[in-house]
Each structure stands twice: as structure tokens, then as C-alpha cells.
Structure 1
């Protein structure tokens, strides 16, 4: 790619059976005192660790970050490369977790796409939809991924600013990140927009200088929900969330009880 030495990983294991879904969620068990559950979905090439601080920012919410196969402690598992099978696997994970409490879904970038398709899949199965779908850094229209995402995953990671120094300095972690980014690019490219709407409210978040979103792109969510709650915009690029997680979670802390109460 650019001369960087990336040591290849051992051949990945087959796609996992989603039964025994504890490995998909961080933490594996939802906080029992949280009045609302919140499932968190990470960006392309990322992992559950991006949400490590959210439980402390949302103390009354039972936060669980989804860890997709092919990254971090799951890096020796084969990542998904198709959107449909991944959305179906996520639906099985979430449906097995539902315990009668209202729940919500938050996703950033690819995570927003996954959260949207997860919600569509749950509703198609006749399961209760989330009380709120929160989407960040991705929209059904007006989102443009860089060509490097598929052609050169390592360059895409660097271009988007999504490659922590600790990962770049570790050949095994770097190889896993590159493989995960390539697989996630394939998942995103597999999307065929069917115009599906969700039955729950949707709130959107974005960085003001995000190069992947056209002006007004987040307004395209209005056609996908009976209750579009608007877009909150923050200074920063595609990874504005790293600096503004406290503000985003503060907004969610106001919205979640309100919409959970009527769910």
C-alpha cells in the first residue's frame, strides 16, 4: 500500500454462530438498574472500545457496545462482508437480549447504517422497535465514502483519522484493522437502498466539517421515520464524536427517558 509492513493474520475462523451472543456485547450483561438499554454500534474499521466511557456519561442507562467479528479481541474471527447477513445476526443478538425494558440504538458512521438496518429487521420480525434510533455521521442520502475505503483500507483509515497510534505501532493490530476496514467497506458497498422506514423516532448528529456528508444530508432521515427529531451539529470532522461525546450523551440523556416513557 504505502510501504508500511503489516504482518498478515492467521486465516480467520468461519463466520460465528451468533448463539452465545455474550461475546458480541461489552459488557456482556446489561446493567440491571438502567431504566433504558442502549445498544452502541461502531464505525468502519473500529470496535466496541470507542464507547468505553459512555456508561459513565449515561449513568442511568444500561449501555452495551456491540463488538463485530474481526476486530480487537475478536480479530481472529472472520468479519462479515454482506450487509443483509450482518443485520440479521445483529437482530438475533438484540432480540435475545430484550428483557421488557425499553431500548434504544446509537450508531456512528457504518454503525448508523447498521442501526438503521437492524431496526428495519427487528420490525420485520414483529419485534418491538427501539424507543429511539440515534444516528451519527451517516445518512440514507448525501453520504459519500472515499474511494480508498475499498481500494486501500489502510489509506482510508489514515485519511479518516480513525487509526489510533497504538494500533498503527502494533503490526498484528494493524493487520486486523486493515482487514476489518476492508470487510466493513464491503458491507457498506453491499447496501441497496429500499427506502425502508422505521417506526420509531430518529435523532441525528454530525460534525460540521464532515467531508463525507453533503450539506443537508441528515435531513434525508425525515423520510425514514414518522418522527424526525432533527440534527445536532458539532464542530469537527467525521470523527467529531471523539471530542463531543459528553455533549452527545447529554442530549441522549434528555431524549431517552422521554421517548422510553411512551414506548
Structure 2
């Protein structure tokens, strides 16, 4: 049963396994919602799966979606206090969510709050690279066509007939379009501000045929001072949907393989207010 975390409308939990040793906080792609991660908990008893609840969708459908990164991070960082259940936590973000998770770690570090033990990212180049394609300004019809192309990109060796779009799906897409456009605006107008690499390990998940991501670590290695590794899955931009179990198992294995995390000295000084 899904429960909203008490005192915060920004996060929702999909379970509290008795043996969970780490919480994974997830951030969806543009237009996505916490429902994208609803099935993850059934694949793991070692992780507690939580998702961000962003304005403009699901239970917050009546709230206007945010179009600017710092405003979104303001709300999210407030929901991360106090330290999450007294146990380690990691962040995972896909596409737009990868940017959001990255900027949230930066804010957490700047505020001297407990850092995540890892940052997992997928479907997105590192933040120092701007989007090569800007689509948030396209007319509705053109934007929907572009979204369909991204959604259908897969690991195909032979051309296949595209499935017929259900009328209900088309109508749902049109209802969600204002939120999708706002999210795309947030991601595509984001401007990276150079800063020191994070004292948090980065793990990159990538689709083998994702047309929106550079090869290899896609620049993410520059954003961590303690290491970056890459795991490739077959598929396109939304490969995670086809590899849900494998993705969760990878997160669980990666987190189990990390050394015990102790707050760096500099972090201790920030937390106590010393300089």
C-alpha cells in the first residue's frame, strides 16, 4: 500500500521492508510521476523505494507544475529533512529526473545535510551538456509527435510496424501535455553552474540505443570526486520500463558493494556550523 510520507507532500513511499538497509528516492522523467516506480518495491527487500511527488500530476494535479529548477529543489530539499528514517539513502533520476537529483545533491551538500550514499542517473547526459534538441516550445501536435518517437525508440535490428495508438492514450497525453511541457521547459532551460565534483559516487545506467545520451559515462564522471561507473541495458531512452527487475537488482547490488559511508571532515564542519 502506498503511503504519503508524514509531513511532506513531496514524497511517497511504496513500502517499508523490515530488512531494508537503504532508501532509494526516485525522480521521474519529464511528464512522469511516482507511478513509474510503483512496481519497484516488489523486486527488493533490501531497499525501501520512495518517489518524489511533483506538482501537476497525480494527487497534486491541481497545483501548477514548476518550470524552474531552483524552485523545484527548494520544495524537495525541505521534504528531505530530517535525515530519512535514520538510515542511508540514495537518489535515482531518469532523464529530467537525473538533473533534478543532481541539483538536489548539490543543495543538500551546500546546506550541510546528510549526503546520499550514491547518485544513480539514466537517460540523460551530465549537466554540463545542454540539450541538443529543444522541443518545449513546439506546437502541441509537433510536441506529441516528438514524444511518440522518443517513446518508441527501442533496441530494434529490423524495422517493425508501429502499434496503433489507442484513443484513450492520445486523450491522456493531451491532458498531461501542460505538465509535460512545463517539465521540458525546466529541463531544457536549465543552466549548469560549474562547481566542485560531488563527494558522492555516481552510477550511470544507459540504454544501448538511447539517441538522447552520449556514449560511455556521458560526462557524469566529471561530477563525482569518488568514482563513476556505467551499466548498459538493451533498449532505447525508456529502457528502464523493459528492465524494471534488472534495474532494481543493479541498484541493490551497487549499493551493497559501496564502502561504508562516513561523512567527510568538511561535511562535519558544515553540519556543526564551524568554518
- In the superposition, the TM-score normalised over structure 1's length comes to 0.82
Residue aligned with 1:169, SS: helix
The 1-side partners of 2:23 and 2:125 are apart by 24
Q: Does 1:148 align with 2:143?
A: no
Task: Identify if the C-alpha distance between structure 1 residues 154 and 180 changes in structure 2 by more than 3 Å, giving closer, same or farther.
Answer: same
Query: Structure 1 residues 37, 200: closer, same or farther in 2, change over 3 A?
Result: same
Judge which range, 149-158 or 207-216, deviates more. Answer: 149-158
* Residue 144 of structure 1, CA deviation: 3.5
Alpha-carbon distance, 1:198 to partner: 1.5
CA contact (8 A) 2:55 2:63 kept: yes
Q: The residue matched to 1:95 in structure 2 has which SS?
A: coil
- 2:121 is paired with a residue of what secondary structure? strand
Q: Does residue 1:103 correspond to 2:92, yes or no?
A: no
Report the equivalent of 1:12.
Answer: none
Residue number in structure 2 paired with 1:202: 202
Q: If the length of structure 2 is used for normalisation, what is the TM-score?
A: 0.79
Shift of 1:147: 3.1
Q: Which residue of 2 aligns with 1:174?
A: 173
Q: Please name the residue that 2:155 is paired with.
A: none
Residue 272 of structure 2: aligned partner: none
What residue number does 1:11 align with? none
* Residues 166 and 225 of structure 1, relative CA distance in 2, 3 Å threshold: same
Residue in structure 2 matching 1:76, options 62, 78, 84: 62
1:139 equivalent to 2:125? Answer: yes
Cα offset, 1:127, TM superposition: 0.6
Give the whole-Å Cα distance in 2 for the aligned partners of 1:168 and 1:255. 41
- Structure 2 gap segments, 5+ residues each: 153-163, 263-275
Aligned length: 243
The structure-2 alpha-carbon separation of the partners of 1:40 and 1:190, relative to structure 1 and needing over 3 Å to count, comes to same
| Structure 1: 5+ residue stretches without partners | 1-18
SS of match in other structure, 1:195:
coil
